[in-house]
Amino acid sequence: MKILLINAHPDYQNPARTINQLTEHARQTIQQLAPDQDLDQLTLYDPATDIPAISATSLNYPETVQPAQQKLIDQWKAADLILIMMPLHNFNVVTGLKTYIDDIFIARQTFKYTADGSVGLLDGHQRVIYVQSSGSDYQHDLRYVNADFAPHYLRTILNFMGIKDMTLIRAEGLDLAGSDKPAIVAQTKRDLTAALTAALATD
């Protein structure tokens, strides 16, 4: 099994950040449960990671796919299990993840247009675990439930590619008054361990 672990936190070097803690927990859990698996790690905000920005030239894709972009597409298509670790920002995905998705969501690469509409080009065997941290509660707080855009956006993109299996894991309410942040993080780690155990058991 090929596993792709994506860290989409802008402050990716800060060990105090919840997403960074969960990314490290995911890495350690994978190594413990399946040490022989092929694990790739992609840190989107690391300057050493080449994530081409959309430009006037690249808007002409798929005719002008850049080599760095093609590398990202091939890595995504080769993965059997993909983990996306992201802090919610302004109700939506961070810009680094949006740029990455713009690089891999390419006609004739991950989807195609037909007379009946778009069709995903991935075969559906891939699974995605999406871990989202947030300061507020987007599942239960009526002020925020209608602003829960990011999971819907990712599910839409994945579905267009042909990926039907996305598990959503939340670390939410981290900044609310009276919240027990360590307990929230600990529960999220347990949820992540359970999801990884199930995913790796089906290999």
Give the Cα separation of 85 and 66 in Å (integer): 25
Strand partners, 3: 39, 81
Give the Cα separation of 85 and 170 in Å (integer): 10
Which burial class, exposed, middle or buried, applies to 162 when counting CB atoms under 10 A from its CB (0-12, 13-18, 19+)? middle
pLDDT tens figures, 8-32: 999 999 999 999 999 999 999 999 9
Which CATH number does the domain housing residue 12 bear? Answer: 3.40.50.360
Q: What predicted TM-score, i.e. pTM, was given to this entire model?
A: 0.94
pLDDT tens figures, 152-201: 999 999 999 999 999 999 999 999 999 999 999 999 999 999 999 999 98
Q: Domain range holding 63?
A: 2-201
Give the Cα separation of 143 and 175 in Å (integer): 15
Total structural domains within the chain: 1
